[in-house]
Chain A
Amino acid sequence: MEEYILTVTSLKTYIYTYRRVVRAVDGVDFKIRKGESVGIVGESGCGKTMTALSILRFIPPVARILGGKVLFEGTNLVELPAEKLREIRGRKIAMVFQDPMTYLNPVMNIGDQIGEALVKHQKMSKKEARRKAVEGLSIVKIASPSDVSKQYPHQLSGGMRQRALIAMAISCSPSLLIADEPTTALDVTVQAQIIELLKDIKEKLELSLLLITHDLGIVAHLCDRLYVMYAGKFVEEGDIFSVFRQSKHPYTSGLIESVLYMDKPGDMIGFIDGSVPDLSNTLTGCRFHPRCQHSMPLCREQEPPNIEMSANQRVSCWLYK
């Protein structure tokens, strides 16, 4: 039997604004095996970040988790009291975010910031935590780590900040790392370095990785399996080889077709017509049907079932019923 480190079942997170309810995450199921890297891919506003935040209940005050389970090593994080959850945050599940500057304290030096978690979680002395922090900085391949540990975030470049954030995330040797668009704010050449670093760390520390991104290229390089998210729901899931080679859902195929390649410039560039639906409206049937080329009357009325295509691939689409 395969062991799952994280099992999420029918998770629902809605955002309550002044007048509307945004169904950001509307019943998603996913699993992550030990040591596996899983990607969640989707466009902006599809709910992928809310999914990631819901795992550790890092959701903003206007949002609420309405239902579902997040089982992590046997405990349901949705119902866990706040103090218990705090023991898991940072220690067993760590997160890396898109914009490192926002998540670093500008008035605290890098070494102390990394060490803070160690002092809290592992009851280390400050001195020991500092030494560990320097060690962490060298794991993320920062040159002259002891100098950098005395510097402040504004003195570092974008790539260095992201490395520092990763060092912080892995400082307590967590078993699951959640990375939300970790390279979107970086230049392409630096992005390549960070992706390589994540791959390295994952192998070295035997981490499981949940990667949230809009970039199919990153998923292809870093993940074993992926979930494709559209308008609050997963439309397709599977191992990367099946999904990239034989995508089943029209949305996935559309995404893969809109990728630009450097070696084959086509006459027409692929795209999906229309735009993402407003998640505060009541959506009936398949959420993709207004943009779908294969839309049938049934698609408008009923939500598609989740169909198993093969051992490694599932899709939610009426085309395969």
Chain B
Amino acid sequence: MAEVLKIEDVRKYFSITKGFQNLFQRNRRMLHAVDGVSFSIESGETFGLAGESGCGKTTLARLICLLEYPTSGKILFSGEDTSNIDKKHLRGFYKQLQMVFQDPLSSLNPRKTIEQILSKPLSVQEGFGRSELRDKIMDLLDDVDLKPPEDYISRYPHELSGGEKQRVVIARAVALRPKLVIADEPVASLDMSIRGKVLNLLRELQSRYGMSYLLITHDLRVLRVMSKRIAIMYLGKIAEVAKAEELFAHPCHPYTKGMISAELIPDPSSPKRKKGFILKGEVPSPIDPPPGCRFHTRCHYKESRCTVDEPRLIEIGNQHLVSCHFWKTIADQPI
């Protein structure tokens, strides 16, 4: 299958030594937001990216969208290196790649009606005339289940509920039938009862238009139902990548295990109500990440080797990659 997106050893460091000091200090302090990440997304699949806050997942999304440029490494979109894309040709690039962000209210212009919001990409990119536009927008609203469309077309964002707003954002993202949609925490700000509606919609649109998704979230349960493959990120690096079923059935990285067991199952008779496997501590600062394995400060299985020798991401079969020295013993431990 063709690859829509391929990321090769991408790094992004932010300098945190400010202004004047920059000129003189030889060893500038760096925040290692993304530190050598590689993966690829095939066309038509949903690739999930999970991690806690500060692990670099949003920075990675911004790098792919060309909102930031990587310090090193390559991002290939449909086989083309995105660093070669001229500023003038960005418009053509965004026709094929669209984004959905967490907070729908801040991604919609409060002074524009839904019609104006949705007509922008269509008129700019496709050059539709006024009469065609109206029909197109009606179809779009129908696509995202905002029915009847006439009721919504002249409203302003504040007149919609959270779920409806997010559906407008999704309509705008799919308007141009992009190859890849990057969704950064698309349901995190929504209430439980409407979360399912938006997730179902994303799946339906994917099967209708064959887009790929990069779904970024901290919620493993969302990824479990949505994605084909999942990558777990920790402090700027990928800890584990596997197919969804494989990852939940046989997690091999201690961090993945910790994440899975931290999910509280809404069932009062769940055995975890007694006592779960709980990770200790919190994510260290990405400014001076721990040497060796980045996870060793929180790991239950830490050995002296982990503090000096950084594990590489190795394939252990069945498209399952893990970066841990002791994955073999850890894989057998119950969660």
Q: Are B282 and A192 in contact (CB under 8 A)?
A: no
| Nearest CB of B to A268, in Å | 6
Which stretch (B94-102, B261-269, B305-313, B316-324) binds chain A? B261-269
Q: Is B161 at the interface (CB under 8 A from chain A)? A: yes
Given the known interface contacts A157-B282, A187-B283, A189-B52, the answer about A218 and B264 at a Cβ–Cβ threshold of 8 Å is yes
Given contacts A188-B259, A189-B258, A276-B161, list 6 more A-B pairs with CB under 8 A.
A190-B282, A191-B262, A192-B276, A258-B193, A260-B221, A262-B221
Given the known interface contacts A189-B258, A272-B193, the answer about A259 and B264 at a Cβ–Cβ threshold of 8 Å is no
Q: Is A270 at the interface (CB under 8 A from chain B)? A: yes
Q: How many A-B residue pairs have CB under 8 A?
A: 127
**A188 CA to B223 CA in the complex, in Å?**
14
Q: Which residues of A in the span 267-282 have a Cβ within 8 Å of any Cβ on B?
A: 268-273, 275-276
Q: Is A33 at the interface (CB under 8 A from chain B)? A: no
B266 touches which one: A259, A272, A273 (CB < 8 A)? A259
27 A-B pairs with CB atoms under 8 Å apart are: A189-B52, A189-B259, A189-B282, A192-B279, A196-B275, A196-B278, A214-B192, A217-B263, A218-B264, A220-B264, A220-B267, A220-B270, A221-B270, A244-B267, A255-B193, A258-B195, A260-B195, A262-B224, A263-B248, A266-B225, A268-B200, A270-B196, A273-B197, A275-B161, A275-B164, A275-B194, A276-B191
Q: Is B158 at the interface (CB under 8 A from chain A)? A: no
Interface string of A241-256 (1 = CB under 8 A from B): 1001000000000111
B-side contacts of A159, CB under 8 Å: 282
Chain B residue nearest to A43 in the complex (CB)? B191
A-side contacts of B195, CB under 8 Å: 258, 260, 269, 271
Interface string of B230-272 (1 = CB under 8 A from A): 0000000000000010001000000000111111111111101
Q: Are B264 and A221 in contact (CB under 8 A)?
A: yes
Q: Are A217 and B264 in contact (CB under 8 A)?
A: yes
**A194 CA to B53 CA in the complex, in Å?**
17
Q: Are A43 and B221 in contact (CB under 8 A)?
A: no
Chain B residue nearest to A230 in the complex (CB)? B193
**A272 CA to B259 CA in the complex, in Å?**
28
A44 touches which one: B191, B222, B275 (CB < 8 A)? B191
Q: Are B266 and A262 in contact (CB under 8 A)?
A: no
Q: Is B325 at the interface (CB under 8 A from chain A)? A: no
A-side contacts of B276, CB under 8 Å: 192, 196
Q: Give the size category of A's interface with B.
A: 35 or more
Q: Are B264 and A260 in contact (CB under 8 A)?
A: no
Q: Is B199 at the interface (CB under 8 A from chain A)? A: yes
Q: Is A235 at the interface (CB under 8 A from chain B)? A: no
B-side contacts of A244, CB under 8 Å: 266-268
Q: Is B220 at the interface (CB under 8 A from chain A)? A: yes
**A263 CA to B280 CA in the complex, in Å?**
24
| Nearest CB of A to B98, in Å | 22
| Nearest CB of B to A289, in Å | 15
B193 touches which one: A43, A157, A158, A260 (CB < 8 A)? A43
Q: Is B163 at the interface (CB under 8 A from chain A)? A: yes
Q: Is B218 at the interface (CB under 8 A from chain A)? A: yes
Q: Are A265 and B259 in contact (CB under 8 A)?
A: no
Q: Is A219 at the interface (CB under 8 A from chain B)? A: yes
Q: Is B155 at the interface (CB under 8 A from chain A)? A: no
Q: Is B28 at the interface (CB under 8 A from chain A)? A: no
Q: Are B221 and A261 in contact (CB under 8 A)?
A: yes
Q: Is A88 at the interface (CB under 8 A from chain B)? A: no
A255 touches which one: B192, B222, B279 (CB < 8 A)? B192
**A263 CA to B163 CA in the complex, in Å?**
26
**A294 CA to B266 CA in the complex, in Å?**
25
Residue positions of B touching A, CB distance < 8 A: 52-53, 161-164, 191-197, 199-200, 218-222, 224-225, 244, 248, 258-270, 272-273, 275-276, 278-280, 282-283
Chain B residue nearest to A195 in the complex (CB)? B264
| Nearest CB of A to B290, in Å | 15
A-side contacts of B194, CB under 8 Å: 271-272, 275
Q: Are B266 and A220 in contact (CB under 8 A)?
A: yes
**A158 CA to B199 CA in the complex, in Å?**
29
| Nearest CB of A to B159, in Å | 11
Most chain B beta carbons < 10 A, residue from A192, A216, A273, A276: A192
Q: Are B259 and A260 in contact (CB under 8 A)?
A: no
Q: Are B52 and A220 in contact (CB under 8 A)?
A: no
Q: Is A193 at the interface (CB under 8 A from chain B)? A: yes
Given the known interface contacts A215-B264, A262-B220, the answer about A271 and B197 at a Cβ–Cβ threshold of 8 Å is yes
Given the known interface contacts A262-B224, A262-B260, A271-B196, the answer about A256 and B266 at a Cβ–Cβ threshold of 8 Å is yes
Q: Is A240 at the interface (CB under 8 A from chain B)? A: yes
Q: Are B278 and A189 in contact (CB under 8 A)?
A: yes
Q: Are B218 and A187 in contact (CB under 8 A)?
A: yes
**A16 CA to B262 CA in the complex, in Å?**
41
| Nearest CB of A to B235, in Å | 13
B-side contacts of A241, CB under 8 Å: 268-269
Most chain B beta carbons < 10 A, residue from A159, A193, A262: A262
Interface string of A194-228 (1 = CB under 8 A from B): 01100000000000000000111111110000000
B-side contacts of A217, CB under 8 Å: 263-266
Chain A residue nearest to B277 in the complex (CB)? A192
B-side contacts of A272, CB under 8 Å: 193-194
Q: Are B193 and A219 in contact (CB under 8 A)?
A: no
Which 6 A/B pairs are nearest by Cβ-Cβ distance? A271-B196, A217-B264, A260-B221, A269-B196, A216-B266, A275-B161
**A145 CA to B217 CA in the complex, in Å?**
34
Most chain A beta carbons < 10 A, residue from B222, B270, B278: B278
**A261 CA to B223 CA in the complex, in Å?**
10
| Nearest CB of B to A129, in Å | 28
**A244 CA to B170 CA in the complex, in Å?**
33
| Nearest CB of B to A257, in Å | 8
| Nearest CB of B to A252, in Å | 11
B192 touches which one: A187, A191, A219, A258 (CB < 8 A)? A258
